[in-house]
């Protein structure tokens, strides 16, 4: 990697003050260090966030839970309150990487991670996402790529947590200079839909501080299909969440991961109406096929996505 300046922040304000053009924040380092070693990014300054107090807390004291950006993936996977109340979040966390990665990687880093597209990550290539002229994946080897995209780049979002947090209506709190900004999860990624250079909607210097999760949704789940049984990226992931009161369903949402540059919302009037009979679930899942625009090698993701929608909804219903 290239030489860089190392700075250690002791507070959120301090981190913002240390931030200069060309600087990057370092939490677990799982994503950033990989990109630096491959010369994909070469920040002038790296601002270490790990010593900022309070960013590592899981606060469940009010009905909206607050998870600090430095909470590790392993802590989310193991947290008893999260497993009891937001099982989908714990499930999504437990599918991230390997135990070693989960012990180090953080919530903020997982949400802010960059594309894993093998053209983007290749040291000898300069693809569209890296400022080059071509998305090689669009005409090339695209079995891991998007079924939906609003721009020529077809690399999908791969954050497991983004998919479940979207389904749980979480809000991501950022510091943008002096301002505190709150984004929904779809807003956190919306720039990546239309802009091939964007991995998310974060602006240079933006710092994810914590994530707020409302807890009225008393049912949630996360499922993924990967080629390997462990330590592998999702080919497709699916999160479903909703509030069940008596026999009635409210605020049901279903999101897919690894099929679009954003967590992809599965839209259906049936979902909006909270109709989750097995016939309704079948029909929700069916409707996806007509919306997707598969590439040469990723059409198989459509049936997987359909199966996961069925299974996720069936799981929260049962």
Partner 1 sequence: MSGWPKNPHQLGKDHLRYDGPIKVRGAAKYASDMQPAGWLYGMILRSPWPAARVRAIDLRPALGIPGIRAAVTANDPPFNVRYCGEELGAVAGLSKQACLDALSAIKVEADILPFVVKEEVALRDTSPRVFENQPNAGEPREMRTGDVDGAFRSADKAVEGFFQTPVQLHHCLETHGNTIQMRSDGITCWASTQGISSVSDGLADNLGISLDKVHVISEFMGGGFGSKYGAGIEGGLAARLSKEAGGLPVRLMLTRFDEALAVGNRPSSFQKVRLGAKKDGTLVAYELESFGTAGYASGGTTAGGGGGAGFPAPYIYTVPSTRVRQTSVAINAGSARAMRAPGHPQASFGMESILDEMALALSIDPVELRIKNDPSETRRRQYRIAAERFGWNAKYHSPGSSQGPLKTGVGCAGATWGGGGQGSEAEVKINPDGSVEVRCGTQDLGTGTKTLMTIVAAELFGLEPADVSVKIGDTTLPPSGGSGGSTTAASVAPAVFDACQTALGELASASGISDPRGSNWRAAAAHLRIKPIVARGRWKEGLSGRGVGGVQMAEVEVDTETGLVRVKRIVCVQDCGLVVNRLASVSQINGGIIMGIGFALYEERILDSQTGVVLNPNFETYKLPGAADVPEIDVILQDMPERGVIGIGEPVTIPTAAAIANAVSNAAGKRVTRLPITPSHVLGLLEQPPQIR
Compare residues 8 and 122 and give the one whose CB is closer to partner 1.
Answer: 122
Q: Does 278 bind partner 1 (CB under 8 A)?
A: yes
Compute and round to an integer the Cα radius of gyration of the chain.
19
Stretch that binds partner 1, among 6-14, 147-155, 159-167, 279-287 (CB under 8 A): 279-287
Site size toward partner 1 (CB under 8 A) is 36
228-235's contacts with Cβ under 8 Å and 24+ in sequence apart are 230/98, 231/97, 231/98, 233/116, 233/144, 233/158, 233/258, 234/95, 234/158, 234/160, 234/258, 235/144, 235/301, 235/304
Q: Does 231 bind partner 1 (CB under 8 A)?
A: yes
The residue within the footprint of partner 1, chosen from 29, 186, 274, 282 (CB under 8 A), is 282
- End-to-end distance of the chain based on CA atoms, in angstroms? 50
Q: Which of residues 176-215 bind partner 1 (CB under 8 A)?
A: none
What's the Cα-to-Cα distance from 233 to each of 53, 78, 195, 245, rounded to whole Å?
A: 31, 20, 23, 35
Q: DSSP string spanning 76-144?
A: HHH-HHHHHH-HHHHHHHHTSS-HHHHHH-BHHHHHHPPP--TTTT-TT---GGGT-S--HHHHS--TT
Residue 247 near partner 1 by CB under 8 A: no
What residues have CB less than 8 Å from 237, skipping those under 6 apart?
92, 95, 160, 163, 222, 223, 224, 225, 256, 257, 258, 308
Token pair, residue 142, equals: 């695209």
Return the number of the residue (78 or 122) whose C-beta is nearest partner 1: 122
Q: Which stretch binds partner 1 (CB under 8 A): 68-76, 83-91, 150-158, 301-309?
A: 301-309
Q: Does 4 bind partner 1 (CB under 8 A)?
A: no
Closest distance of CB 1 from partner 1, Å:
8
Give min distance, CB of 308 to partner 1, in A: 8
Q: Are the C-beta atoms of residues 284 and 254 closer than 8 Å to each other?
A: yes
65 binds partner 1 (CB under 8 A): no
The binding track of 94-133 with respect to partner 1, each residue x by CB under 8 A or -, is ----------------------x-xx--xxxx--------
**Closer residue to partner 1, CB minimum distance, 136 or 264:** 136
- The residue (of 42 and 62) whose beta carbon lies closer to partner 1 is 42
Among 20, 307, 315, 317, contact with partner 1 (rule: CB under 8 A)? 307
Token pair for residue 260?
A: 């679009």
Nearer residue to partner 1 within complex by CB, 64 or 134: 134
Distance, CA of 233 to chain centre: 12
Applying CB under 8 A, which residues contact partner 1? 1, 116, 118-119, 122-125, 134, 136, 139-141, 143, 225, 227-233, 235, 278, 281-282, 286, 297, 300, 303-304, 306-308, 310, 314
């Amino acid at each position: 990697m290239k030489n860089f300046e190392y700075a250690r922040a002791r507070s959120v304000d301090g981190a913002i003050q240390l931030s200069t053009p060309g600087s990057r924040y370092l939490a677990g380092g799982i994503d950033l260090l990989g990109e630096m070693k491959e010369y994909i990014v070469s920040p002038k300054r790296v601002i270490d966030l790990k010593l900022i107090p309070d960013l590592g807390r899981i606060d469940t004291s009010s009905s909206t839970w607050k998870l600090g950006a430095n909470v590790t993936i392993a802590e989310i996977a193991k947290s008893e309150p999260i497993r009891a109340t937001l099982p989908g979040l714990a499930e999504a966390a437990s599918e991230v990487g390997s135990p070693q990665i989960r012990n180090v990687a953080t919530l903020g880093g997982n949400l802010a991670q960059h594309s894993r597209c093998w053209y983007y990550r290749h040291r000898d290539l300069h693809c569209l996402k890296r400022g080059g002229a071509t998305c090689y994946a669009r005409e090339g080897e695209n079995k891991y790529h998007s079924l939906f995209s609003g721009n020529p780049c077809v690399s999908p979002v791969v954050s497991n947590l983004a998919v479940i947090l979207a389904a749980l209506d979480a809000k991501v709190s950022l510091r943008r200079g002096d301002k505190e900004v709150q984004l929904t999860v779809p807003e956190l990624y919306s720039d990546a839909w239309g802009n091939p250079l964007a991995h998310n909607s974060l602006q240079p210097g933006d710092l994810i501080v914590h994530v707020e999760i409302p807890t009225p949704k008393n049912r949630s789940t996360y499922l993924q299909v990967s080629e390997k049984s462990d330590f592998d990226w999702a080919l497709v992931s699916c999160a479903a969440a909703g509030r069940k009161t008596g026999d009635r369903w409210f605020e049901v949402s279903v999101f897919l991961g690894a099929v679009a540059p954003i967590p992809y919302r599965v839209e259906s009037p049936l979902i909006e109406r909270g109709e989750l009979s097995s016939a309704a679930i079948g029909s929700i899942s069916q409707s996806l096929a007509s919306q997707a625009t598969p590439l040469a090698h990723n059409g198989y993701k459509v049936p997987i996505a359909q199966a996961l929608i069925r299974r996720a909804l069936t799981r929260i219903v049962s």
